[in-house]
Chains A and B, each alone.
Chain A
Amino acid sequence: MIEALPLSALPASAEALRPAVRAFLDEALAGRPTDRLARSWMGFDAEFSRALASRGWVGLTLPREYGGGGQDAFHRFVLAEELLARGAPVSAHWIADRQSGPLILKYGTEAQRRFFLPRICSGELFFCIGMSEPQSGSDLAGLRTRATRTADGWVLKGQKLWTTNAHRAHYMIALVRTHGGPEDRHAGLSQLIVDLSLPGVQVRTIGDLAGDAHFNEVFFDEVRLPEDAIIGAEGEGWAQVTAELAYERSGPERIYGSIVLFDAWLAHLRSLPQVREADVALAGKLLAHLAPLREMSLALTAQLAAGASPVIEAALVKDLGTEFEQAVPNLLADALYAAPDDAPPEMLLRTLHYVLQVCPTFSLRGGTREILRGVIARGLGLR
């Protein structure tokens, strides 16, 4: 049975980080239109990421000896909350900061830590995560990309799909098969760090319905990797990935994805001589959903900070969070076009339509709604 998530509190030292981040963002984001900011953690801006890094805000939770900030998960929560609340374009460093860095710290060798972590923290190296494949999406354990041992390393052969930022990242942490076949399921999987500049790696960008290009197909044609490309234990890839997904699913990015749109709508309402009662109630309804979600997300952070891996609880919060993120554009689209005489500003409508078009992806990436509910059902003892 899943245990209830108790109300947590941010330590004062973490809260103290907030004003500096706000001040930085006031300057760094000035003048950026809301339809760009609405891309939030899908917005890629290497220069912005490096500016954050120069302030010590990339790899905040990594130890100081590896160039990190040496802070706990609560500090990262505050930083992430402020970045996401403003729609800061954090995509370039986000995956390395959230997943790859902590993964390398936890499972990597000392040499891997010394090489990668300082470069992640400086904003020099960006990462992507190679999980899905053409024949293996939700059914991740059926993946076929294979790394075969050679005398001095590995040969990688296969294909990844829907890999966000593969065309702009320097490294991929790929989940691949090192033993057995697809029928062996979770056994025989390992994680490898793949240098995407190596011969035999080909990245093809896939355009999306919003005119953006963030995900890719990545081909590995006999890519020769060094011995130390493996991260963690051979055959333990599934367990490592599961722990990593708790990071991916528990962050505040699963609740604030539509907040730029919501704020733009509120600004529009505030400019009207009179707000319809239905719109007042809608604003309140969304706020009533957001408040406990934020606290549930913070409660997950408290569990991470305490060294736990709240896999099931993270699935629960992600599912609720993405439902909220999708409700915002859907309900606002209806509300805005219920009052065409209010002449909503063009930028608000552009922002709305962007989020409306991409919002189905909110409950796909990082595990689909149906998969997450299956995880929750397992936590409830039903499977």
Chain B
Amino acid sequence: MDALLVESFEKLIQGTCSPATVRAVERDGQAHALWAEVEASGYLDLLVPDEGGAALRDAFPLWLACGAHTLPVPLAQTMWARGLLAAAGLPQTAGPIALAPAARREAGGVLRCACVPFGALAQGLLLRTPEGEVACVPLKAATVQRSGVHGSLQADIVFASLPADALRLPAATDLQAAGALITATLMAGSLQRLLAMTLQYANDRAQFGKAIGKFQAVQQQLAVLAEQAFAARMAAELACAEAGLQPHRLRAAVAKARAAEAAEKAVAIAHAVHGAIGVTAEFDLQLVTRRLQEGRGDFGSATYWHGELGRALLAASGPTVPFLLQALLPDAAARADTAG
């Protein structure tokens, strides 16, 4: 990934996505102006294959930046969906696209996608039906109802049946692994931001005549927060180390499980260091911690993915390290270009 491209993306996000913007989007459940800027930037088509193909690893630093700024629109999800649609030779679906890997059939054949992350803003949905069809559908005829807690952009999305203009994708497309990997990368970015904010606060806030960051008890906690942020970032980078667009399910499992465990510890430490100010609406910490707490469950919790990983490990024979090297970690070709 071109470092300049990453830098200009970070500038774009920083410039368009102030905490005030995040609050407004979360309050109103719409993001027309912000999305127009994102769309105009051209980054949405970063994973649209050209002659050189398209690689998840190119998206990694960009998705980290989205997480770091708690970008309140599904840019990462839409970027991936647009890449898939283009790779399949299909036309694009307009607007933000959310992912729903577990649509349920209800009475009368109605399709219900529950608690879809960023569903409140979605104009398109990339979903998997219980029958195993994978399709991208415009949401014109769907009922979208916000389902999350205060500030959440989750929504329940219900429609009568797959519309006629649904764009069918290969059934093997692993939406859940993609959702897990994208969420894990966003969370890794958010964890980096959480560390920076908490360090800043520990240096600024004085008690007993000195900055609270000078107390060993606080320093030890901040060291743990840093460790968790670093481990989650590495797990996410591992999962993004793909030369193509399809996620590797076990690597996505590692990324999501590790991000969820890291978030649990890191959020607790960040709030402990901030004290009461950290839970106020006007202080920005909550923009990050609410997103992290919600992300822990999106596309499968830590225990869900632990189960998948455990089954794969137990189905193999022999010791762990050869399994790790052969079945789990990316090979040298997939790692190329990831450094830096």
The interface of chain A, by Cβ under 8 A from chain B, is 2, 4-10, 12, 15, 81-82, 85-86, 256, 259, 262-263, 266, 269-270, 275, 277, 279-285, 287-296, 299, 302, 316, 319-320, 370, 372-374, 376-377, 380-383
Is B254 within 8 A of A291, CB to CB? yes
**Smallest CB separation, B68 vs chain A (Å):** 12
* CB neighbours of B253 from chain A (8 A): 284, 288
Is A15 within 8 A of B305, CB to CB? no
Is B303 within 8 A of A281, CB to CB? yes
Is A270 within 8 A of B309, CB to CB? no
Q: Which 6 A-B pairs have the closest CB atoms?
A: A284-B310, A284-B309, A284-B306, A377-B219, A85-B321, A280-B310
* CB neighbours of A6 from chain B (8 A): 237, 338-340
Is A382 within 8 A of B320, CB to CB? no
Answer yes or no: B226 CB below 8 A from chain A CBs: yes
Is A376 within 8 A of B203, CB to CB? no
**Smallest CB separation, A43 vs chain B (Å):** 17
Question: Could you name 5 residue pairs across A and B whose Cβ atoms are closer than 8 Å?
Answer: A6-B339, A6-B340, A285-B306, A377-B219, A382-B199
Is A320 within 8 A of B231, CB to CB? yes
Answer yes or no: B205 CB below 8 A from chain A CBs: no
**Cross-interface CB contact of A295 among B222, B223, B313, B329, cutoff 8 Å:** B329
Is B339 within 8 A of A289, CB to CB? no
**Smallest CB separation, B2 vs chain A (Å):** 16
* CB neighbours of B232 from chain A (8 A): 292
- Smallest Cβ-Cβ distance to B333: which chain A residue: A9
Answer yes or no: B241 CB below 8 A from chain A CBs: yes
Q: Which of B199-236 contact A (CB under 8 A)?
A: 199, 202-203, 213-214, 216, 218-220, 222-224, 226-227, 230-235
* CB neighbours of B230 from chain A (8 A): 2, 4-5, 296, 316, 320
Answer yes or no: B23 CB below 8 A from chain A CBs: no
Complex CA distance for A288 and B33, rounded to whole angstroms: 39
- Smallest Cβ-Cβ distance to A81: which chain B residue: B321
Complex CA distance for A371 and B226, rounded to whole angstroms: 15
- Smallest Cβ-Cβ distance to B318: which chain A residue: A263
- Smallest Cβ-Cβ distance to B303: which chain A residue: A281
Complex CA distance for A81 and B319, rounded to whole angstroms: 13
Is A284 within 8 A of B231, CB to CB? no
* CB neighbours of A380 from chain B (8 A): 199, 222-223, 226
Is A376 within 8 A of B314, CB to CB? no
* CB neighbours of B219 from chain A (8 A): 373-374, 377, 382-383
Is B332 within 8 A of A269, CB to CB? no
The proximity string for B residues 298-340 relative to A, scoring 1 for CB distances below 8 Å and 0 otherwise, is 0000110111111111100101111010001100100110111
Answer yes or no: B238 CB below 8 A from chain A CBs: yes
Is A295 within 8 A of B234, CB to CB? yes
Interface of A is mostly: helix
Is B335 within 8 A of A7, CB to CB? yes
Complex CA distance for A374 and B336, rounded to whole angstroms: 35
Interface of B is mostly: helix
Complex CA distance for A277 and B227, rounded to whole angstroms: 29
* CB neighbours of B192 from chain A (8 A): 4
Is B332 within 8 A of A10, CB to CB? yes
Answer yes or no: B258 CB below 8 A from chain A CBs: yes
Is B238 within 8 A of A288, CB to CB? no
Is A294 within 8 A of B314, CB to CB? no
* CB neighbours of A376 from chain B (8 A): 223, 226-227
**Smallest CB separation, A324 vs chain B (Å):** 10
Complex CA distance for A263 and B340, rounded to whole angstroms: 34
**Cross-interface CB contact of A288 among B241, B309, B322, cutoff 8 Å:** B309
**Smallest CB separation, A85 vs chain B (Å):** 4
* CB neighbours of A15 from chain B (8 A): 332
Complex CA distance for A8 and B335, rounded to whole angstroms: 7
Contacts A7-B234, A288-B305: A382 and B222 contacting too (C-beta < 8 A)?
yes
* CB neighbours of B303 from chain A (8 A): 281, 285
Is A320 within 8 A of B305, CB to CB? no
Contacts A270-B314, A287-B328: A292 and B227 contacting too (C-beta < 8 A)?
no
Complex CA distance for A270 and B237, rounded to whole angstroms: 31
* CB neighbours of B213 from chain A (8 A): 382
- Smallest Cβ-Cβ distance to A252: which chain B residue: B321
Complex CA distance for A295 and B235, rounded to whole angstroms: 8
Complex CA distance for A2 and B220, rounded to whole angstroms: 15
* CB neighbours of B321 from chain A (8 A): 81-82, 85, 256, 259
Is A291 within 8 A of B220, CB to CB? no
Complex CA distance for A266 and B321, rounded to whole angstroms: 12
**Smallest CB separation, A22 vs chain B (Å):** 8
Complex CA distance for A290 and B306, rounded to whole angstroms: 12
Contacts A277-B307, A296-B234: A316 and B227 contacting too (C-beta < 8 A)?
yes
Beyond the given A319-B223, A377-B223, please list 12 additional residue pairs across the A-B interface where CB-CB is below 8 A: A2-B226, A7-B335, A10-B332, A85-B322, A266-B319, A270-B314, A285-B310, A288-B253, A288-B254, A293-B231, A296-B234, A316-B223
**Smallest CB separation, B154 vs chain A (Å):** 25
Contacts A9-B335, A374-B216, A377-B219: A292 and B231 contacting too (C-beta < 8 A)?
yes
* CB neighbours of B251 from chain A (8 A): 291
Is B338 within 8 A of A295, CB to CB? no
Complex CA distance for A292 and B230, rounded to whole angstroms: 9
* CB neighbours of B214 from chain A (8 A): 382-383
Contacts A269-B314, A380-B222, A380-B226: A287 and B319 contacting too (C-beta < 8 A)?
no
Is A262 within 8 A of B320, CB to CB? yes
Is B339 within 8 A of A8, CB to CB? yes
Answer yes or no: B257 CB below 8 A from chain A CBs: yes
Is A292 within 8 A of B254, CB to CB? yes
**Smallest CB separation, A143 vs chain B (Å):** 22
**Smallest CB separation, A358 vs chain B (Å):** 20
Contacts A269-B314, A277-B307: A287 and B231 contacting too (C-beta < 8 A)?
no
